[in-house]
Amino acid sequence: MTVSLRRSLALVALTWATAAMAQDGEPARSAFKVCEDPNNMPFSNTAGEGIENKLATLFGQALNLPVTYYHFPQRMGFVRNTLRFKLPGQDYPCDIVMGVPVGFEQVWATKPYYRSTYALVVAEGRGLDGVKTVADFLALDKARQAKLRIGLFDRSPASQWLVKHDLVDQGVPYKMLDADPAHYPGELIEKELAAGKIDAAIVWGPLAGYYVKRASNPKMRLIPMASEPGVRFDYAIAMGVRRGEADWRAQIEHLIDTKGPEIRAILTEFGVPLVDE
């Protein structure tokens, strides 16, 4: 055996060993284990009715894995107490967060699987029926604008938008993260706007789409908001896995690519306003 042949075989053996070590570093998946907020519709709930529940079922079936959930309220420390949580001698309770913004640093984000935007939601029959676009809303008579109460979550782009368009006094801020586990973000539309406590709401698109579809008394209308200089409303959404789990991330990204039509159908079913990049 020549020296060059021995070196070639040694290199092949090293390559195989490295690949085996990489695979050994990621345990075999016995289930599609999802980190989930138990009360966060339209994204997830314990009954499995949310967007992310449907996506998890789709992916679990594609991988021939049963879907399991590890529940924790999506508040401060969600990733630390779910995706990164591991007791000595035990496995991680969940392996994937089904929805994170692209660039979210607490996880290893996949490629995005949809892009949505914030939306303005108004109730019909309450004096804003002529508002079909954001431009219509901004063109309202100043006296009419001055009487409006616009609900928004704290620390959202809506705050910047109100400042830019001199509507700060009309803003009614609500807490996005509430310590009460029974609280859910959709209350801003389903309770506050429906009851007439506010005249309009500016919320993340999937939230708006879901609750507008459900509303009947009064009916509501969703108006997508385009990003503008100084205010960004549209964001791409990905899935998140633990850093270093390259094989797992690659599997998820493959499903994002191959299950595109099914993913889009689920998003459409829930009324998610989709926008191009």
Confidence at residue 11, expressed as pLDDT on a 0 to 100 scale: 35
Instruction: Note whether residue 17 is domain-resident.
Output: no
Write out the two tokens for 178: 């509430």
Q: Report the C-alpha gap between 100 and 225 in whole angstroms.
A: 20
Q: Do the domain assignments include residue 7? A: no
Residues 56 and 78 in one domain: yes
Predicted confidence (pLDDT) per residue in 39-62, tens digit: 999 999 999 999 999 999 999 999
104/76 Cα distance (integer angstroms): 14
Residue 23: predicted pLDDT: 41
Query: What pLDDT was estimated at residue 273?
Result: 97
Residue 6 inside a domain? The answer is no
pLDDT digits (tens, 9 = 90+) for 231-241: 999 999 999 99
Domain count, the chain: 2
Q: In this structure, are 153 and 264 located in the same domain?
A: no
Residue 210 is part of which domain span?
115-234
Mean pLDDT of the chain: 90
Stated pTM of the model: 0.87
CB atoms within 10 A of CB 199: 19
- Cβ pair 220, 189 in contact under 8 A: yes
Could you tell me if 110 and 121 lie in one domain? no
Average pLDDT over residues 166-185: 87
Q: Is 145 exposed, middle or buried (0-12, 13-18, 19+ CB in 10 A)?
A: middle
Whether residue 133 is found in the same domain as residue 181: yes
Q: Is residue 144 part of a domain?
A: yes
Would 104 be classed as within a structural domain?
yes
What is residue 12's predicted lDDT score, i.e. its pLDDT? 34
Tens of pLDDT along 193-248? 999 999 999 999 999 999 999 999 899 999 999 999 999 999 999 999 999 999 99
- Per-residue pLDDT tens digits for 88-138: 988 999 999 999 999 999 999 999 999 999 999 999 999 999 999 999 999
Best CA proximity match to 63, nearest among 24, 95, 92: 95
Q: Are residues 197 and 159 both part of a single domain?
A: yes
Per-residue pLDDT, 18: 33
Work out the pLDDT band at 19, boundaries 50, 70, 90: very low
Same domain, 79 and 91: yes
pLDDT tier for residue 25 given thresholds of 50, 70 and 90: low
We report the CATH number of the domain holding residue 98 as 3.40.190.10
- The position carrying tokens 């791409």 is 236
Indicate the DSSP class of residue 170. Answer: G
Asked, for residue 248, whether it belongs to a domain, the answer is yes
Cβ neighbors of 166 (< 8 A, separation 6 or more) are none
Query: What pLDDT sits at residue 183?
Result: 82
In this structure, are 265 and 131 located in the same domain? no
